[in-house]
Chains A and B, each alone.
Chain A
Amino acid sequence: MANSLIIGQYVPTDSLVHRLDPRTKIIIIFLFVIFIFFANNALSYGWLALFAVASAVATKIKLKFIARGLTPVWFLIIFTFILHLFVTREGPVLFEIIGFPIYSGAIIQGFAISLRFFLLILVTSLMTLTTTPIEITDAIESLLHPLKKIKFPVHELALMMSISLRFIPTLMQETEKISKAQASRGVDFKTGPIKDRIHAVVPLLVPLFVSAFKRAEELAMAMEARGYQGGEGRTKLRELTIAKLDWLAFLSFSCVLIGLFLLRQ
């Protein structure tokens, strides 16, 4: 029960990566996602892979655990590889598989694209593994702050996200309660044809929605009673601070980028 309630996949450890400001992590990952497209040879790919793996190790999270988190995308990565194997027609033909010629360029291309894909997923999942959802929310609010000038509701968006985060476990507990209640009345969610099972979800969703709306209404009233009047003149308890560690992270990442441009062709 408690296990199913963990939001996202945050794994607490005492690593330096965890202690980085969430904005630092978002910015670095954002840059990484862009600059990975500049890698164009084995050395530059290897260099970026080294960075990604080193970061993964630095999180102090068991690599087995990180790998398990990636299982759903393994399939996609392998699929990408196979697709490139058959579609790309560059370089000399190496061998044939049941009549299909496999070009040497295809192997290289397939390998590069899959690796790029793998690195992207790995690095972004390091973000959610080492940063709590609420930290991510705060970081987004802070990074989007300039958009306030063009009347983009930054504070409201962040509040919405944090309230959703707060209510996900509550609503999950409630779903479980309702589904048990309905199961005890003979509703069968687990067996039978798909059509029947979809039908069985209706008596689950209706009470869930009714209660969610009631909650929303009561929550709005409670928030108003506690003096909430929008973002104006509000102070914040949770503070983000760029510390020495963050500058160090930016510095090392700059070195990674410089290395990338030295190694690429």
Chain B
Amino acid sequence: MNSDQVEFRNVSFRYNDEQPWVLNNVSFSIKSDEWVAIIGHNGSGKSTIAKLINGLIFPDQGEIFVNGIKVTADTVWDVRKQVGMVFQNPDNQFVGTTVKDDVAFGLENRGVERSEMIKRINDSLAAVRMSDYIMHEPHRLSGGQKQRVAIAGVLAVQPNLIILDEATAMLDPKGRTEILTTVYDVKQNHQLNLITITHDLNEIIHADRVIVMNNGEVWTETSPRVLFTQEEGLREIGLDIPFVAKLANELSKQSITLTQQPINQKELLDELWTFHLNK
């Protein structure tokens, strides 16, 4: 009856009564098989949204539906079966003493048979290209590798929805690229919804849709391409667009109009040479 994977209906939330609202009348929905990026400055309420989806906290007002199930204290375990989360700090979500044990953790919690467990561990480690590290302890892995293990741990339980809450924020550029390509691969090869939370606009270019949060409210909801044209507004709420988008916007100010807003370097180059050709 409901093809929406996630739906927020007028959700408000605060951590305690003395505090201002962290989320204020937030509504949005995410369709099946969609990749949605949530961006916003620090403290704009992104992580709170993630925790609400997974039933780690519950809304003070409004309702949240995940795959048609309303998230309440009674349904939270059903919801968590469908939602996998990867958090920011690679160290503080690694439960096992080895990679293998860590990926197993979610499966053990769900009471998966041991033989099935081994198969799924191998498959999901292969999906994030960490098979060679299966017996490694966490302190012998880089941050990016730990996050890939975290993604494998989530994939292993086969959720419908994966939320990455600033999963790249604590990584060096190499680790960040590692995670972004892993996520892209996973999305290509698995049928699932993806919510990536970030404050770096470079990381949203593959998303189907972007939800921009500002001070606990939805500031706008649009595609990455359209969003990159709103440089001024984004700067006002503390977000910086990628270089390619900036350059394109500067060009259009110089009345060099491109046929569409380029989203990466290749598109920008294509736009530029076709422009030059048609001049």
B157 part of interface (Cβ distance < 8 Å): yes
Query: Is B101 touching A225 in the complex (CB atoms < 8 A)?
Result: no
Beta-carbon contacts of A114-140 to B below 8 Å, as 1s and 0s?
000000000000000000011000000
The answer to whether residues A235 and B112 also contact, given A170-B138, A225-B80, A226-B106 and a CB cut-off of 8 A, is: yes
The answer to whether residues A239 and B77 also contact, given A166-B97, A215-B92 and a CB cut-off of 8 A, is: no
Beta-carbon contacts of B71-96 to A below 8 Å, as 1s and 0s?
00000010011011101010111111
Beta-carbon contacts of A231-263 to B below 8 Å, as 1s and 0s?
001111111000000000000000000000000
Interface centre among A170, A218, A235, A238 (most CB of B within 10 A): A235
* Interface size bracket, A side: 20 to 34
A99 part of interface (Cβ distance < 8 Å): no
Residues of B with C-beta under 8 A to A214: 92
Residues of A with C-beta under 8 A to B114: 235-237, 239
**Alpha-carbon separation in the docked complex, A236 to B110 (Å):** 10
Query: Is A227 touching B157 in the complex (CB atoms < 8 A)?
Result: yes
- Which residues 131-169 of A sit at the B interface, judged by CB distance below 8 A? 133-134, 162-163, 165-166, 169
Beta-carbon contacts of B94-138 to A below 8 Å, as 1s and 0s?
111100110011111111111001100100000000000000011
Partner pick for B95 among A169, A222, A229, A234, CB 8 A cutoff: A222
A16 part of interface (Cβ distance < 8 Å): no
**Alpha-carbon separation in the docked complex, A133 to B91 (Å):** 20
B interface size (C-beta, 8 A): 40
**Alpha-carbon separation in the docked complex, A29 to B267 (Å):** 70
B153 part of interface (Cβ distance < 8 Å): yes
**Alpha-carbon separation in the docked complex, A227 to B111 (Å):** 10
A93 part of interface (Cβ distance < 8 Å): no
Residues of B with C-beta under 8 A to A228: 105, 109
**How many whole Å from A241's CB to the nearest CB in chain B?**
12
Interface centre among B87, B92, B121, B153 (most CB of A within 10 A): B92
Query: Is A163 touching B111 in the complex (CB atoms < 8 A)?
Result: no
Partner pick for B85 among A5, A169, A225, CB 8 A cutoff: A225
**How many whole Å from B150's CB to the nearest CB in chain A?**
8
**How many whole Å from A120's CB to the nearest CB in chain B?**
28
The answer to whether residues A162 and B97 also contact, given A173-B139, A237-B117 and a CB cut-off of 8 A, is: yes
Where chain B touches its partner, the secondary structure class is: helix
B247 part of interface (Cβ distance < 8 Å): no
**Alpha-carbon separation in the docked complex, A237 to B102 (Å):** 10
B261 part of interface (Cβ distance < 8 Å): no
Partner pick for A234 among B93, B97, B108, B154, CB 8 A cutoff: B108
Query: Is B111 touching A238 in the complex (CB atoms < 8 A)?
Result: no
**How many whole Å from A166's CB to the nearest CB in chain B?**
5
The answer to whether residues A237 and B139 also contact, given A219-B95, A226-B153 and a CB cut-off of 8 A, is: no
**How many whole Å from A154's CB to the nearest CB in chain B?**
16
A78 part of interface (Cβ distance < 8 Å): no
Query: Is B93 touching A166 in the complex (CB atoms < 8 A)?
Result: no
Query: Is A218 touching B93 in the complex (CB atoms < 8 A)?
Result: yes
Query: Is A166 touching B96 in the complex (CB atoms < 8 A)?
Result: yes
A224 part of interface (Cβ distance < 8 Å): yes
Query: Is A169 touching B91 in the complex (CB atoms < 8 A)?
Result: no
Residues of B with C-beta under 8 A to A166: 94-97, 137-138
**How many whole Å from A103's CB to the nearest CB in chain B?**
53
**How many whole Å from A234's CB to the nearest CB in chain B?**
5
B269 part of interface (Cβ distance < 8 Å): no
A50 part of interface (Cβ distance < 8 Å): no
Pick 28 A–B contacts, CB within 8 A, sort by A. Answer: A162-B97, A163-B95, A166-B138, A169-B137, A169-B139, A170-B91, A214-B92, A215-B89, A215-B92, A218-B89, A218-B93, A219-B93, A219-B95, A221-B51, A221-B87, A222-B87, A225-B56, A225-B87, A227-B106, A227-B109, A227-B110, A227-B157, A229-B109, A234-B111, A235-B108, A235-B112, A237-B118, A238-B101
Task: Beyond the given A227-B110, A237-B107, please list 19 additional residue pairs across the A-B interface where CB-CB is below 8 A.
Answer: A134-B97, A162-B97, A215-B89, A218-B87, A218-B93, A221-B87, A222-B85, A222-B87, A222-B92, A226-B106, A226-B109, A226-B153, A227-B80, A227-B109, A235-B112, A235-B113, A237-B104, A237-B108, A238-B101
Interface pairs A-B: 7 shortest CB-CB: A222-B93, A218-B92, A237-B104, A169-B139, A227-B109, A226-B106, A225-B85
